[in-house]
């Protein structure tokens, strides 16, 4: 619900449980007043103290008023070089060489439905959805350049999206050197910040810290959202936990360089700014042109972190990706990478598919190594033509065999990359990013194709579509295995080189539109050296993303735990692999690996021909178990019952169906359950005055007992044991006996 009070010039956005308020000041600046728990007040500008902040600048239009200061007042969009010394929302170099931009309110529009951006992925709202948009124009009165602030409101989900569009209506060209997508100034609050850091093989580890005075920053300058820091952060009260306290989420719908800043100033006010990383960003916006900054998805919860996650899970399940696969059952798959790497032949692949079929697997995925001269990582990338020595008859012949078994067939691509040892490189050495006169850095022996070039994008769309167009492929794993550097494109003049990082991402979205959106019957899964590009922008294209190359179950507990704060379980690719695990050398039971992999889109990365009879039996059982509970896992409310980082000797999570009738509880112990200590898992999301039947134990217990006392775990179990409990609610039962 978006309201505008004409008299006070106050904009109020309400969602079911939150309120966001802004006010146009007497001098035309747009002040941010409030974001938090829903309130009825029409104007909370009383929060701004009537005090002279000595030494702060006062804009000329304030005359002798020494109170009015852009730095002491909370801003909705902070200008530049006009006396707000905190992180600016914008930095420009105007045609006359000046740096100033001061946006003042000019006009606004409120309409039902959700805005979209023309060049970047955004959330969408269906016609039935209660979504609204506020567009507000801020104008610099001297240059006439404008910024359009966009607000999208998903009322029931407590989600407000933000984006900004800069339009150069000045008389000359303007260099845009920074444009934040969102700025939020909190006048009150003493916050913790939760970020998600990591590296290849250990993505999205949870990091909670108290904000210190100064700038607290996370970001990526790797050309990609990356393994190191996820473009998602939470701000919360110091005592916020899973169930209580204020929590705010900020997620960027962008897959390239990003920054999230939380600046605590000298008055202990907190400014949040999120957007494209300004380093090496210099976009020339010519007279009459516009530039779009990516969308930020903000969520607020007054009931702790679980509720915040539920808002994100719901909106990312329903409003991000338009693929029909988002809402359909996902196939249980087997992937060739971990068992075979680059060395395989058709016969071996067919045999693997045959055995897998008996184990309840729906789809065989051929990973890296099927194309060009790709016998190792040194050659072939760019040559998207099947290697007939390994695969006589090419992809159609193999796909036909797999299909004739009643299975689906999937294929791996890494479209954005090129090996120097490839026909593509020999034909177009200028098609990769490279700084003139410098030998570029290699990573995994590969270079990045220059996706800022339209001809490269067109080539990739055509080359990949050539394989996909005949209908042999049911699933694509879209990989991306290095970071970007040597960022220079021979296609653009020197003064436009500051645009290349962003133009690369625009090119990427262009090829994804040209490949993914033109193949609605193919399920696409994102990947980047595991989970190195797990972000909101990618989720507009991919219903699921491979969570990590680390398939060791205990490590996966922390990876999946961190990922779950924003991303729904339905988006996380998770597979069972062999033990000892190839990376960590750890051995855990098949059950533990399977239960951990059921925290996502389930599958296998192993050679079933090498499995024992016992393992094959287990494999078939877990494929069936997953299929039976997939709907609940994919669409239920998800609860983190314990953290893999706390003192608890187990990590547990729970799914509760939206109608409350069923629930699945999964537990992995991280210590030995010894004889002298009882371990109870307290459940959540249940009705306290209902009874639940637990399939595995035959017990019938009340929601109150399960929530407040908990389930008793069996004694004397080795470290890394796993348990699942399936609960069904018994209708018409009363607790007060
Ligand atoms: C990346 C992926 C793996 C696999 C390899 C193939 O590392 O994350 O799953 O596809 O590439 O080269």
In order of start, what are the domains of the chain with their CATH numbers?
A: 2-318 (2.70.98.60), 324-635 (3.20.20.70), 650-732 (2.60.40.1180)
Instruction: Establish how many alpha carbons lie within 13 A of residue 63's alpha carbon, considering only the half-sphere containing its beta carbon.
Output: 2
Closest-CA residue to 222 (of 279, 184, 148): 279
d(CA 54, ligand 1 centre) in Å: 57
What's the rounded mean pLDDT across residues 130-158?
97
At residue 378, the pLDDT reads 98
At residue 28, the pLDDT reads 97
φ/ψ bin of 247: left (φ > 0), alpha (ψ from -120 to 50), beta (otherwise) = beta
d(CA 529, ligand 1 centre) in Å: 5
At residue 553, the pLDDT reads 98
Rounded-to-integer distance, Cα 522 and Cα 604, Å: 20
Rounded-to-integer distance, Cα 388 and Cα 35, Å: 60
- For the entire predicted model, the pTM comes to 0.97
Rounded-to-integer distance, Cα 343 and Cα 339, Å: 9
Where does the pLDDT of residue 715 fall: very low under 50, low under 70, confident under 90, or very high at 90 and above?
confident
CB of residue 368 inside a 6 A radius of ligand 1: yes
d(CA 61, ligand 1 centre) in Å: 59
- Is there a contact between 47 and 34 (Cβ–Cβ < 8 Å)? yes
Q: Please list the alpha-helical segments (H only) found in 170-269.
A: none
In the chain, the percentage of residues whose pLDDT exceeds 70 is 99
Pairing of strands 680-681, 214-220: unpaired
Mutate to test the pocket of ligand 1, among 201, 202, 334, 337 (most ligand atoms within 8 A of CB): 337
pLDDT digits (tens, 9 = 90+) for 536-546: 999 999 999 99
At residue 674, the pLDDT reads 75
* Options 84, 420, 535, 607, the catalytic residue: 535
CB of residue 337 inside a 6 A radius of ligand 1: yes
At residue 733, the pLDDT reads 52
The mean-pLDDT minimum among 79-83, 303-307, 649-653, 672-676 falls in 672-676
What's the rounded mean pLDDT across residues 358-362?
97
What values do phi and psi take at 155, rounded to 5?
Answer: -55, -60
Rounded-to-integer distance, Cα 461 and Cα 179, Å: 30
Where does the pLDDT of residue 736 fall: very low under 50, low under 70, confident under 90, or very high at 90 and above?
low
CA 520, 522, 528: angle at the middle one, nearest 5? 115
Q: Whose CA is nearest to atom 12 of ligand 1?
A: 368
CB of residue 481 inside a 6 A radius of ligand 1: yes
Rounded-to-integer distance, Cα 649 and Cα 248, Å: 29
CB of residue 549 inside a 6 A radius of ligand 1: yes
Average predicted confidence (pLDDT) for the chain: 96
Pairing of strands 258-264, 214-220: antiparallel
DSSP code string of 273-308: EEEE--TT--EEE-TT-EEEEEEEEEEEESBHHHHH
- Is there a contact between 87 and 71 (Cβ–Cβ < 8 Å)? no
- Dig out the tokens for 172 from the structure: 């000359």
Residue linked to tokens 């030995």: 672
List, in order, residues 6 or more apart from 662 with CB less than 8 Å away: 632, 656, 726, 727, 728, 729
Rounded-to-integer distance, Cα 334 and Cα 351, Å: 12
DSSP helix/strand/coil, 9:
coil
pLDDT digits (tens, 9 = 90+) for 163-212: 999 999 999 999 999 999 999 999 999 999 999 999 999 999 999 999 99
What values do phi and psi take at 604, rounded to 5?
Answer: -130, 150
Closest-CA residue to 78 (of 182, 189, 231, 212): 182
pLDDT digits (tens, 9 = 90+) for 564-592: 999 999 999 999 999 999 999 999 999 99
Mutate to test the pocket of ligand 1, among 481, 556, 583 (most ligand atoms within 8 A of CB): 481
Distances from the Cα of 655 to the Cαs of 540, 631, 659, 663, 686, in angstroms?
A: 24, 10, 12, 5, 10
pLDDT digits (tens, 9 = 90+) for 430-449: 999 999 999 999 999 999 99
pLDDT digits (tens, 9 = 90+) for 413-431: 999 999 999 999 999 999 9
At residue 671, the pLDDT reads 86
In the chain, the percentage of residues whose pLDDT exceeds 90 is 96
Rounded-to-integer distance, Cα 651 and Cα 423, Å: 49
Q: Is the peptide bond before 580 cis (omega within 30 degrees of 0)?
A: yes
CB of residue 530 inside a 6 A radius of ligand 1: yes
How many CB atoms are closer than 10 A to CB 593? Answer: 29
**Which residues are bridge partners to 574 per DSSP?**
602
- Is there a contact between 498 and 402 (Cβ–Cβ < 8 Å)? no
Rounded-to-integer distance, Cα 214 and Cα 713, Å: 46
Rounded-to-integer distance, Cα 74 and Cα 85, Å: 12
Rounded-to-integer distance, Cα 539 and Cα 517, Å: 13
- Dig out the tokens for 715 from the structure: 């004694």
Rounded-to-integer distance, Cα 585 and Cα 95, Å: 60
Distances from the Cα of 237 to the Cαs of 159, 189, 521, in angstroms?
A: 19, 7, 45
Taking the CA atoms of 601, 602, 605 and 608 in sequence, report the sign of the dihedral they define. negative
Where does the pLDDT of residue 734 fall: very low under 50, low under 70, confident under 90, or very high at 90 and above?
low
What values do phi and psi take at 217, rounded to 5?
Answer: -130, 140
Closest-CA residue to 274 (of 165, 181, 161): 181
List, in order, residues 6 or more apart from 462 with CB less than 8 Å away: none
pLDDT over threshold 80, residue 29:
yes
pLDDT over threshold 90, residue 648:
no
List, in order, residues 6 or more apart from 276 with CB less than 8 Å away: 179, 181, 254, 256, 257, 258, 259, 293, 294, 502
What does R_g of the chain's alpha carbons equal in angstroms?
27
pLDDT digits (tens, 9 = 90+) for 665-708: 999 999 887 777 889 999 999 999 999 999 999 999 999 999 99
Q: Is 535 a catalytic residue?
A: yes
Q: Is 375 a catalytic residue?
A: no
Residue linked to tokens 């800022």: 452
Closest-CA residue to 563 (of 606, 524, 526, 508): 526
Q: Whose CA is nearest to atom 11 of ligand 1?
A: 529
d(CA 342, ligand 1 centre) in Å: 11
Q: Whose CA is nearest to atom 4 of ligand 1?
A: 337
pLDDT digits (tens, 9 = 90+) for 451-498: 999 999 999 999 999 999 999 999 999 999 999 999 999 999 999 999
CB of residue 479 inside a 6 A radius of ligand 1: yes
List, in order, residues 6 or more apart from 50 with CB less than 8 Å away: 67
First to last CA, the chain: 45
CB of residue 338 inside a 6 A radius of ligand 1: no
Mutate to test the pocket of ligand 1, among 479, 482, 575 (most ligand atoms within 8 A of CB): 479
Strand segments, DSSP code E, in 26-154 are: 30-37, 90-93, 103-112, 131-140, 146-154
Closest-CA residue to 544 (of 261, 292, 327, 699): 327
The helix (H) or strand (E) run that includes residue 703 is helix 703-708
DSSP 432: B
pLDDT digits (tens, 9 = 90+) for 202-234: 999 999 999 999 999 999 999 999 999 999 999
d(CA 539, ligand 1 centre) in Å: 19
d(CA 479, ligand 1 centre) in Å: 7
d(CA 254, ligand 1 centre) in Å: 22
Taking the CA atoms of 271, 272, 274 and 277 in sequence, report the sign of the dihedral they define. positive
Rounded-to-integer distance, Cα 606 and Cα 364, Å: 12
Report the nearest atom of ligand 1 relative to the CA of 530. 8
DSSP 363: E
pLDDT digits (tens, 9 = 90+) for 273-319: 999 999 999 999 999 999 999 999 999 999 999 999 999 999 999 99
Rounded-to-integer distance, Cα 113 and Cα 131, Å: 5
CA 63, 67, 73: angle at the middle one, nearest 5? 115
């Amino acid at each position: 619900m978006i309201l505008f009070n004409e008299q006070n010039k106050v904009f109020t956005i309400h969602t079911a449980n939150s309120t966001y308020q802004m006010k146009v000041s007497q001098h035309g600046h747009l002040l941010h007043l409030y974001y938090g728990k829903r309130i009825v007040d029409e104007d909370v500008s009383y929060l701004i103290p009537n005090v002279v902040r000595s030494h702060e600048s006062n804009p000329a239009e304030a005359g002798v008023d020494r109170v009015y200061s852009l730095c002491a007042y909370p801003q909705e969009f902070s200008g530049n070089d006009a006396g707000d010394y905190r992180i600016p929302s914008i930095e420009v170099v105007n045609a006359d060489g000046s740096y100033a931009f001061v946006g003042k309110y000019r006009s606004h529009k409120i309409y039902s439905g959700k805005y979209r951006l023309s060049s970047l992925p955004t959330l969408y709202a269906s016609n039935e959805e209660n979504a609204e948009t506020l567009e507000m124009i801020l104008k610099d009165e001297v240059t006439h350049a404008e910024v359009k602030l966009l607000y999208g409101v998903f009322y029931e989900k407590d989600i407000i999206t933000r984006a900004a569009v800069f339009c150069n209506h000045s008389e000359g060209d303007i260099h845009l050197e920074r444009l934040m997508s969102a700025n939020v100034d909190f006048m009150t609050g003493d916050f913790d910040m939760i970020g998600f850091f990591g590296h290849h093989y250990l993505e999205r580890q949870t990091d909670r810290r108290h904000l210190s005075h100064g700038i607290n920053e996370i970001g990526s300058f790797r050309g990609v959202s990356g393994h190191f820091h996820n473009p998602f952060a939470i701000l919360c009260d110091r005592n916020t936990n899973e169930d209580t306290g204020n929590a705010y989420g900020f997620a960027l719908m962008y897959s390239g360089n990003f920054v999230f800043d939380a600046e605590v100033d000298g008055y202990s006010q907190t400014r949040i700014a999120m957007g494209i990383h300004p380093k090496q960003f210099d976009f020339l916006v010519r007279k009459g042109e516009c530039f779009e900054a990516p969308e930020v998805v903000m969520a607020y919860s007054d009931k702790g972190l679980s509720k915040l996650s539920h808002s994100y899970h719901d909106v990312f399940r329903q409003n991000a990706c338009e693929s029909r696969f988002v809402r359909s059952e996902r196939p249980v798959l087997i992937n060739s990478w971990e068992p075979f790497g680059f060395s395989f032949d058709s016969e071996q692949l067919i045999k693997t598919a045959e055995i897998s079929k008996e184990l309840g697997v729906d789809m065989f995925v051929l990973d890296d190594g099927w194309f060009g001269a790709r016998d190792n990582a040194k050659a072939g990338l760019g040559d998207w033509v099947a290697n007939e020595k390994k695969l006589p008859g090419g992809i159609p012949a193999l796909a036909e065999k797999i299909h004739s078994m009643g299975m689906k067939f999937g294929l791996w691509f890494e479209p954005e990359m090129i090996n120097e040892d490839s026909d593509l490189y020999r034909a177009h050495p200028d098609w990769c990013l490279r700084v003139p006169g410098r030998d570029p850095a290699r990573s995994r022996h590969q270079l990045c194709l220059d996706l800022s070039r339209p001809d490269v994008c067109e080539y990739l769309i055509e080359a990949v579509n050539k394989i996909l167009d005949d209908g042999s492929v049911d699933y694509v794993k879209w990989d991306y295995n290095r970071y970007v550097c040597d960022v220079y494109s021979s296609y653009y003049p020197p003064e436009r080189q500051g645009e290349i990082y962003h133009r690369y991402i625009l090119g990427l979205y262009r090829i994804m539109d040209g490949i993914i959106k033109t193949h609605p019957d193919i399920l696409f899964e994102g990947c980047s050296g595991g989970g190195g590009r797990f972000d909101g922008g990618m989720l507009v294209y991919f219903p699921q993303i491979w969570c990590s190359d680390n398939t060791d179950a205990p490590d996966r507990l922390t990876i999946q735990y961190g990922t779950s704060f924003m991303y729904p379980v339905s988006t996380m690719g998770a597979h069972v692999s062999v033990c000892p695990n190839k990376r960590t050398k750890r051995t855990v039971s098949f059950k533990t690996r399977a239960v951990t992999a059921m925290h996502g889109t389930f599958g296998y990365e192993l050679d079933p021909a090498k499995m024992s009879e016992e393992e094959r039996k287990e494999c078939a059982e877990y494929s069936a178990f997953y299929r039976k509970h997939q709907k609940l896992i994919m669409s239920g409310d998800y609860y983190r019952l314990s953290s893999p980082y706390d003192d608890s000797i187990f990590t547990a999570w729970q799914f509760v169906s939206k109608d409350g009738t069923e629930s699945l509880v999964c537990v992995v112990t991280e210590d030995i359950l010894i004889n002298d200590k009882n371990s109870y898992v307290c459940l959540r999301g249940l009705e306290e005055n209902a009874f639940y039947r637990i399939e595995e134990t035959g017990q019938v217990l009340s929601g109150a007992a399960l929530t407040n006392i908990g389930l008793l775990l069996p004694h004397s179990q080795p470290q890394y044991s796993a348990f699942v409990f399936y609960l069904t609610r018994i209708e018409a039962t009363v607790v007060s006996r």
